């Protein structure tokens, strides 16, 4: 039988009692229909995971006792930062969910000239909280112990000024002459830039090249932004990561 798995803020110390966040208590009672005495798996998002027994539970509060630690590593050896052009709500949510399942290390949302979504500071903060919740949920489902960092959205040119020059930098471009699968194994981390609906414009592509990004293509067809991210990450994990 599959054991429910939920995120609990650190620290997780064997033998201690922990009161769960209200949202987790609600999920366990109303969604999973669990009761006191049941076993759950809890993880702290920074690499630790334990079995836990539910001591008391209702829709507003739950208390658990942390039990034995669970060994094993579910993190990819390939550290990928997905630099994702912000797309419409459901597309962006789907992209972040699947990118997390596919093992990305961090996600950097960027606003581009063709981004349909425009965010002021208040909206950006609200979106960031929403995206972080999407990523946590994807970690709960996929068995990841470390929660990817979701950065605050910035304009693309701002990202170029803060990225790491010695990483492998790739930008998806359907007109590129070089295939993603033809790249050599990265020595360090990887930054993968994918545009929003409509892709990146010519000026943005040139700025990406000037910033050290190599244009690569996936194949002969033009993919939607949310499809492109899943395919590109899958190819990279199959070539250099842990999808074997």
pLDDT tens by residue, 169-180: 999 999 999 999
181 DSSP assignment: G
- pLDDT value for 227: 96
> For residue 231, what pLDDT is reported?
97
CATH number of 5-69: 2.40.240.20
Distance CA 64, CA 42 (A): 10
Residue 118 pLDDT more than 80?
Answer: no
Domain boundaries in the chain?
A: 5-69, 80-240
| Assigned CATH class of 80-240 | alpha beta
- The per-residue pLDDT for 31 is 85
Q: Give 91-108 pLDDT, tens digit per residue.
A: 999 999 999 999 999 999
- The pLDDT of residue 173: 96
* pLDDT exceeds cutoff 70 at 163: no
Helices 89-101 + 121-142 axis angle, to 10: 40
Mean pLDDT of 127-153: 96
Residue reference for tokens 């930008």: 171
Check pLDDT > 70 for residue 1.
no
Residue 192, strand partner residues: 82, 170
Give 3-state DSSP helix, strand, coil % of the chain, rounded to 5.
Answer: 35, 25, 40
Rounded Cα gap, residues 5 and 23, in angstroms: 14
pTM: 0.92
Residue 208 Cα distances to 76, 147, 165, 170, 194, angstroms: 26, 27, 12, 9, 11
Ranges assigned E (strand) in 58-121: 62-69, 80-85, 106-111
Q: Is the pLDDT of residue 59 over 90?
A: no
How far from 134 is each of 54, 229, 237, CA to CA, in Å? Answer: 25, 16, 21
């Amino acid at each position: 039988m599959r054991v429910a798995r939920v995120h609990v803020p650190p620290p997780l110390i064997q033998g201690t009692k922990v009161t769960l966040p209200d949202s987790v208590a609600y999920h366990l009672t109303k969604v999973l229909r669990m009761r006191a005495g049941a076993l759950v798996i809890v993880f702290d998002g920074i690499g630790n995971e334990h079995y836990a027994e539910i001591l008391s539970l209702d829709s507003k509060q739950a208390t658990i006792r942390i039990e034995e630690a669970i060994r094993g590593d579910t993190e990819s050896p390939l550290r990928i930062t997905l630099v994702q052009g912000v797309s419409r709500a459901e597309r962006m949510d789907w992209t972040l969910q699947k990118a997390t399942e596919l093992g990305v290390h961090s996600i950097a949302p960027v606003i581009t000239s063709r981004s349909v979504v425009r965010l002021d500071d208040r909206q950006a903060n609200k979106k960031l909280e929403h995206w972080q919740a999407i990523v946590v949920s994807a970690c709960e489902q996929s068995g990841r112990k470390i929660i990817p960092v979701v950065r605050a959205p910035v304009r693309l040119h701002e990202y170029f000024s803060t990225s790491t020059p010695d990483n492998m930098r790739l930008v998806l471009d359907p007109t590129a002459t070089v295939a993603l699968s033809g790249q050599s194994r990265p020595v360090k981390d990887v930054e993968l830039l994918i545009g929003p609906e409509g892709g990146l414009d010519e000026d943005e592509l040139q700025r990406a090249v000037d910033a050290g990004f190599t244009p690569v293509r996936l194949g002969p067809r033009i993919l939607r932004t949310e499809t492109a991210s899943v395919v590109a990450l899958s190819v990279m994990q199959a070539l250099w990561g842990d999808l074997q």
